[in-house]
A and B are shown apart, each in its own frame.
Chain A
Amino acid sequence: AQSVTQLGSHVSVSEGALVLLRCNYSSSVPPYLFWYVQYPNQGLQLLLKYTSAATLVKGINGFEAEFKKSETSFHLTKPSAHMSDAAEYFCAVSDRYTGNQFYFGTGTSLTVIP
Chain B
Amino acid sequence: EAGVAQSPRYKIIEKRQSVAFWCNPISGHATLYWYQQILGQGPKLLIQFQNNGVVDDSQLPKDRFSAERLKGVDSTLKIQPAKLEDSAVYLCASSLEGSGALTYEQYFGPGTRLTVT
Contacts and interface: CB of A to CB of B under 8 A. Distances in A.
Interface of A: 4, 9, 32, 34, 36, 41-46, 49, 51, 90, 92, 94, 96, 98-107
Interface of B: 4, 31, 33, 40-45, 48, 50, 55-56, 91, 93, 95, 97, 104-111, 113
Interface of A is mostly: strand
A90 B45 contact: no
Given A100-B31, A100-B104, A105 B42 contact: yes
Given A44-B108, A96-B104, A99-B48, A106 B4 contact: no
A36 B93 CA distance: 13
Q: By CB atoms of chain B within 10 A, which of A32, A49, A51, A101 has the most?
A: A101
B93 to A, nearest CB: 8
B105 A46 contact: yes
B106 A102 contact: yes
Contacts of A44: 43, 91, 93, 108
A104 B43 contact: yes
Contacts of B43: 44, 90, 102, 104
A104 B4 CA distance: 19
Given A49-B105, A94-B104, A101-B48, A42 B42 contact: no
Given A99-B55, A101-B56, A102-B45, A42 B110 contact: yes
A49 B108 CA distance: 15
A98 B98 CA distance: 12
Nearest to A90: B42
9 smallest A-B Cβ distances: which pairs? Answer: A104-B42, A43-B108, A44-B108, A43-B110, A99-B55, A100-B97, A104-B43, A106-B42, A32-B104
Q: By CB atoms of chain B within 10 A, which of A9, A44, A51, A103 has the most?
A: A44
B50 to A, nearest CB: 7
Given A43-B91, A94-B104, A99-B55, A106 B97 contact: no
